[in-house]
Amino acid sequence: MRTNTHFAFFDEGSKKEIRRATLKAVAIPGYQVPFASREMPIARGWGTGGLQLTLSLIGKTDVLKVIDQGADESVNAVSIKKLVQETTGVQVTDQTEEADLIQSRHRIPEIPLTKDQILVLQVPMPEPLRPVEAREYATKRMHSEDDYSGAWLMLFEQIVKYGKTATAADHPVYVNGRYVMAPSPIPRFDNPKMHQSEALILLGAGREKKIYAVPPYTAVESLAFEDYPFAVESFEGQECRLCGSAHVFLDELIDQKTGETVYQCNDTSYCMEQLNSTEKAEVESSYA
Amino acid sequence: MGYVPVKGGTQAIEASIKRLTYERLKGEEILEINTILATMGSMIDQVMSESSLYSPELAALAIKQGEGSLEEAVFLMRAHRSTLPRHYYSETVEAETMLVERRISASFKDIPGGQLLGATYDYTHRLLDFGLLEESMETNRRWLEDYKDNFSAIQGSKEVVYFPKVVDYLREEGLFETYKPDNTAPTDVTKKSLQFPTTRSARLQVMTRGQTGAVTSFGYASLRGYGQVHPTVGEVRVGKIPIYTIHPNEVNQEPEDQFYIGEIRITEVESFVPVTVKNDNNKDELEFEIGYGACYGQNETKAIAMSILDQCLEHPNTDFPTHDEEFVLLHIDSVESTGFISHLKLPHYVTFQSKLDSIRQVKKEVQEVEN
């Protein structure tokens, strides 16, 4: 009855099944491929889709990075990293450039990804049409008939109600001019990073049992109207209080002592790198 | 380094897990697996059923590890299940081969084979038995001996008795339609995710592994008015069923070449549901259909509720959510519902920031317009 855990948790048959679904997803950009999602040692909704992709892809020489809402040290990222490492023994890293497999919840790293990397995004709700239609049978049909009036109408209604589109994270995108896709709850700020990405982007929804993909160099457009263009979150005039970066996604924090609102990089490893490079430059200049 | 509010996750997790271990150990009592196996039968049954993994020992281990939380035990078992490859499927099991421990019918008093109450809480009075606060092994042994002594006078049957299905009797009367056996291989919901509209085999699989509370509640909702099924319990039976497989590589597959691989104890329910059908003269006629429910172990409430939902889903009706297969099937899984609810505890800093931004932008817009 006692069993040892297999390399990367799954038996090889399960990995193959997941890889087959992944290949299909790559072949049809933005199309949600159903797969027999397994129950994982972490809870449904905590990244089981991403984890299944990661475990089906990971090899002994891979270097893994896991981030949760921008942070490598966030508790759930740590928990996932620990699970993968315990079942595979692979090397893990915080450095975005060092990793060849990056599993992320709700952020795309600030440093542009390369063709040698795969980004795995965790997805809670893979169906972009779910807010307009509850039934899977109906939304599947809408996708096949290229009927996205519901998605457009949703944006239009927001304009009528609020004078502008009021989407938060998970703003729907058109992939390769065909499928409307939920980019996972990444902020709108990260949507443009998907467009013509050099890295393969895989999206896994464990509970909803779907895998989909944005292959490298694929057109990804955020849904918007000509007169109401797509806009990312605004951090105008703000910069990171630690590294001074602007034009990155910032966390809004309250300084415990002064009670003031302060900002800092949401991508923690990016911030660290900026800090290190500044420090290095300072040290070098002081020697000079 | 007070770098990011979430920095220090690794240490925090380790400390939390240690604390959890402390909470389990601090009472300085050890619950033996054998004690769980011997005294927590219903709990084991429920865990095996909801995790769809038949192993009392593993279920007992999961219960121990999960400190009695069913949600946690089912979760552990399902995760373990994911590491087990599926090598083969068993042969079709006929419920008539059940070694019946309990079998009742609410439809007929005199069912062929008779009513057999077996062990049930149904007729106990739910009064706390304070005697159990101090139970002695000595008294229990004496009770057991007395109990067995009572049987010494009774002559048991030499042959194994199988019970016919209650429905067979009604079929003979023409009250139920006799369908040809449909031997299409069932879809395996663990190998292929649900696609809608789905098949009855897939529906039954999802329901039998559904969370007991959820299945019961939906069945109850249908019965109470949010549905159109009003069943009579034709038969509830509990007992053990033998499982056979064939050799995966054998070409000649004779019944006598099958391998007996063990037995499972299940609850099986057939509910009789009146439905209106058109007869040959295009007149409305009443006929019965069967709602089917079955689950691992003894869990009669769940199996009966399942039999109601089975009939509901056989007759889709947009007026009632209990007749909508997506509504029922996608929301009764323990691991899925508890997982997604609990994920709300995860940080949502980025998504919330994005929402804040959206609300602020809208507010700004409104103010500009007003000015």
Q: What is the pLDDT of residues A180-236, one digit of tens each?
A: 999 999 999 999 999 999 999 999 999 999 999 999 999 999 999 999 999 999 898
What is the per-residue pLDDT for B5? 45
What is the per-residue pLDDT for B371? 62
- How far is CA A174 from each of CA A181, A191, A205, B8, B15, rounded to the nearest angstrom? 6, 11, 19, 38, 44
What is the per-residue pLDDT for B369? 64
Judge: B339–A252 Cβ closer than 8 Å, yes or no. no
Which of A254-258, B182-186, B217-221 has maximum average pLDDT? B217-221
- pLDDT class for A288, splitting at 50, 70, 90? low
CB-neighbour burial class of residue A241 (10 A; exposed 0-12, middle 13-18, buried 19+)? middle
Q: What is the pLDDT of residues A88-109, one digit of tens each?
A: 999 999 999 999 999 999 999 9
Judge: B55–A9 Cβ closer than 8 Å, yes or no. no
ipTM score over 0.90, yes or no: no
For residues A92 and A63, the answer to whether their CB atoms sit within 8 Å is yes
Read off the DSSP letter of residue A111.
S
pTM of the model: 0.88
What is the per-residue pLDDT for B3? 39
Judge: B83–A136 Cβ closer than 8 Å, yes or no. no
Element (H, E) at B244: strand B232-245
Q: How many CB pairs under 8 A join A and B?
A: 180
Which phi and psi angles does A190 have, rounded to 5°? Answer: -90, -15
What is the mean pLDDT of the segment spanning A167-172?
Answer: 93
Distance from CA of A74 to the nearest CA of B (A): 5
Report percent pLDDT > 70 for chain B.
97
What is the mean pLDDT of the segment spanning B57-82?
Answer: 96
Read off the DSSP letter of residue A37.
P
Which of B4-13, B81-90, B139-148 has maximum average pLDDT? B139-148
Provide the β-strand partners of residue B104.
B236
Distance from C-alpha of B235 to C-alpha of B230, rounded to nearest angstrom:
15
Judge: A46–B339 Cβ closer than 8 Å, yes or no. yes
Who has greater pLDDT, B191 or B175?
Answer: B191
Which of A73-77, B107-111, B291-295 has maximum average pLDDT? B291-295
Contacts of B10 in chain A (CB under 8 A): 73, 78
What is the per-residue pLDDT for B160? 85
pLDDT at B6 over 70: no
Looking at domain A12-127+175-220, its CATH superfamily turns out to be Bacterial phosphonate metabolism protein PhnH (3.40.50.11310)
What is the mean pLDDT of the segment spanning B213-227?
Answer: 95
What is the mean pLDDT of the segment spanning B117-146?
Answer: 94
What is the mean pLDDT of the segment spanning A264-288?
Answer: 84
Domains of chain B by residue range: 9-81, 95-329, 340-370
- pLDDT class for B2, splitting at 50, 70, 90? very low
- pLDDT class for B7, splitting at 50, 70, 90? low
Q: Mean pLDDT, chain A, as a whole number?
A: 93
The helix/strand/coil state of B287 is strand
- How far is CA B149 from each of CA B46, B118, B145, B152, rounded to the nearest angstrom? 32, 18, 6, 5
Structure tokens at B350: 């980025």
What is the per-residue pLDDT for B114? 86
What is the per-residue pLDDT for B1? 34
Element (H, E) at B21: helix B9-25
Which of A7-16, A54-63, B171-180, B189-198 has maximum average pLDDT? A54-63
Distance from C-alpha of A179 to C-alpha of B94, rounded to nearest angstrom:
46
Structure tokens at B1: 């380094």
For residues A55 and A15, the answer to whether their CB atoms sit within 8 Å is yes
Distance from CA of B2 to the nearest CA of A (A): 11
Which phi and psi angles does A152 have, rounded to 5°? Answer: -65, -40
For residues B202 and B189, the answer to whether their CB atoms sit within 8 Å is yes
- pLDDT class for B57, splitting at 50, 70, 90? very high
Element (H, E) at B335: helix B334-342
What is the per-residue pLDDT for A41? 92
Distance from C-alpha of B162 to C-alpha of B160, rounded to nearest angstrom:
7
Structure tokens at B83: 């590491």
Q: Mean pLDDT, chain B, as a whole number?
A: 90
- pLDDT class for B158, splitting at 50, 70, 90? confident
Dmax (CA) for chain B in angstroms is 98
Contacts of residue A230, Cβ cutoff 8 Å, sequence gap at least 6: A165, A171, A188, A191, A222, A223, A224
Provide the β-strand partners of residue B233.
B271
- pLDDT class for B284, splitting at 50, 70, 90? confident
- pLDDT class for B83, splitting at 50, 70, 90? confident
For residues B287 and B280, the answer to whether their CB atoms sit within 8 Å is no
What is the per-residue pLDDT for A255? 86
Report percent pLDDT > 90 for chain B.
63
Report percent pLDDT > 70 for chain A.
98
Of B13, B81, B362, the CB nearest to A164: B362
CB-neighbour burial class of residue B226 (10 A; exposed 0-12, middle 13-18, buried 19+)? middle
- pLDDT class for B85, splitting at 50, 70, 90? confident
For residues A171 and A184, the answer to whether their CB atoms sit within 8 Å is no
Identify the residue among B354, B359, B361, B366 best suited for mutation to test binding to A, counting A beta carbons within 10 A and taking the highest.
B354
Contacts of residue B325, Cβ cutoff 8 Å, sequence gap at least 6: B196, B197, B198, B203, B313, B316
Q: Where in chain A is the domain with CATH 3.40.50.11310?
A: 12-127+175-220
Which phi and psi angles does A72 have, rounded to 5°? Answer: -75, -25
pLDDT at A60 over 80: yes
Which of A163-177, A191-205, B161-175 has maximum average pLDDT? A191-205
Other beta carbons less than 10 A from residue B193's beta carbon? 16
What is the per-residue pLDDT for B266? 97
Of A164, A242, A251, the CB nearest to B349: A251
Provide the β-strand partners of residue A101.
A64, A118
Of A11, A14, A162, the CB nearest to B365: A162
Which value, to the nearest 10 degrees, does the dihedral of the CA atoms of residues A59, A63, A67, A70 take? -140
What is the per-residue pLDDT for B4? 43
